[in-house]
Amino acid sequence: MNSPIVRFAPSPTGLIHIGNARVALFNFLFARANHGRFILRFDDTDFARSTEAFARAIESDLAWLSVVPDAIFSQSERSAQYEAAAARLKAAGRLYPCYETPEELEKRRKIQQARGRPPVYDRAALKLSDAERSRLESDGVRPHWRFKLEPDVIEWRDLIRGDSHIDCSALSDPVLIRADGAFLYTLPSVVDDIDMRITHVIRGEDHVTNTAVQIQLFHALAPDAPPPIFAHHNLLVGASGEGLSKRTGSLSLASLRSEGYEPLAVAALATLTGSSDNVHAVRSLAELGARFDLAHVSRNPARFNPADLATLTHRTLALLEFDDVRERLAAHEIVGHKAGPLWRAARGNLERFDDILIWWRVIAGDIVPVREDPSFLAEAAQLLPTEPWDETTWLQWTDSVKTATGRKGRALFHPLRLALTAVGSGPELAALLPLIGRATARRRMID
């Protein structure tokens, strides 16, 4: 395969959700696996709803997932290219003006349905004379513009769905330009794909019908170049089967981030859910990408259960090495020679990354020890070995306490853990004790 060029084209009209992230990840991982380029392209031609704040939020959310674009474009800056393409289509007779109101179109659709016919636009506007069009426009009626579809069966080999086809004779000619002059999604998307030399379009299966229209547009605007290769993946739905929406904030990346889920866990669940691959924790997007294969994506809807993120976040943290999190620890002022040993000791006990702060306080801060049996703790404190300590110290010390007191099992270990850490469970004390140190351990038992 030649180096692919792919794109993720969100509308900056709200916060992106996990379903949007799935599209971005599919494209990004595909590009990286094949030494290609990933373009972030903002579909911001809806000037009333698109905002710069949402665009920056989308960039931030993608960066949180470690999805870094090779280039960023905004469609709002490319109006001249769309105007030129529209002029070419008008000159070729493929883009024609229509004057019906939404109410008129809805009435026609109902009549067609009542007669058992498909509600396809009847191309009545093509029957208007020049005089009739002039009269409508002089009356202040501004036209919207439709793309005249050829009555062909469009076929393509989909990388996920396999051999696919759409009979365009069963489709209405799509509106490409609204009456107010605003471009709808389809025309800018195709113009950009041509100009940016997009080789593969990877997106949700809700765009399958659009593909036939867009292939006709590709042929009309770039007849000497092949259209992109398409791949339409199954959609993510909520745990109860509900659709996801930016407008309702369903499973937004911002909310998942604020709840403390690991970005790698979010990426793995968003990518592997609804495929033949088992969902598993990964240390990096590169590792996820090495296992990702479009051919493994199922045709059935993919249910995304946020509850699975808790387990996957825990498993992801347990996989990460100190070098993977060094900068994140430093941002919490967890630094110095104890930082690495603490991470290795505690990572398997973390539900969220910020839980590491609990154990940092245990080894390097002040806690309120829990002293269940002061006399036993005092005797154990007298048996603390001299330093230096290492991971064998815990066993040596507890063996001597066991011999001196006759205690064993929970009666031996639980009071020591409560005094040393103030909590009843957690990382192995063999690893924590050398980090706590003799002076602090003694003070927590008998102070």
Domain map of the chain by residue range?
Answer: 5-73+186-237, 80-177, 253-319, 322-364, 374-446
- The verdict on domain 80-177 having CATH code 3.40.50.720 is no
Question: Tell me, what's the pLDDT at 47?
Answer: 84
Architecture of domain 5-73+186-237: 3-Layer(aba) Sandwich (3.40)
Mean pLDDT within 170-196 = 96
Q: Which amino acid, residue 372?
A: E
The answer, yes or no, to whether residue 32 has pLDDT greater than 80, is yes
At residue 415, does pLDDT exceed 90? yes
Where b means 16+ CB within 10 Å and e means fewer, 110-121 reads eeeeeeeeeeeb
What is the average pLDDT across 207-236?
A: 96
Identify the CA nearest to 138 among candidates 99, 93, 94: 99
At 111, list the tokens.
Answer: 């009549």
> Is 175 strand, coil or helix?
strand
- Please state the length of the chain: 447
Angle subtended by helix axes 438-446 and 429-436, to nearest 10: 100
CATH 3.30.465.10 for domain 374-446, yes or no, is no
Average the pLDDT over 58-71 and give the result: 97
pLDDT for 250: 61
Mean pLDDT, to the nearest integer, of 36-45? 96
- Radius of gyration over every alpha carbon of the chain, rounded to an integer in angstroms: 31
Query: Is the pTM above the cut of 0.95?
Result: no
Residue type at position 436: I
DSSP-based three-state secondary structure for 116: coil
Give 178 or 302, the one with higher predicted confidence: 178
CA 121 to each of CA 100, 110, 114, 146, 246: distance values in angstroms, whole numbers, following the listed order: 11, 12, 15, 10, 30
| pLDDT tens digit sequence for 352-391 | 999 999 999 999 999 999 999 999 999 999 999 999 999 9
**pLDDT tens digit string along 255-289?**
999 999 999 999 999 999 999 888 999 999 999 99
* 253-319 CATH fold: Glutamyl-tRNA Synthetase; domain 2 (1.10.1160)
Stretch (H or E) spanning 156: strand 153-158
Average pLDDT over all residues of the chain: 94
CA–CA separation, 192 vs 179, rounded Å? 22
Q: What is the mean pLDDT of residues 136-162?
A: 96
Report angle CA 9, 11, 16 to the nearest 5 degrees.
Answer: 90
Average confidence (pLDDT) over 238-260: 78
> 167 falls in which pLDDT band (50, 70, 90)?
very high
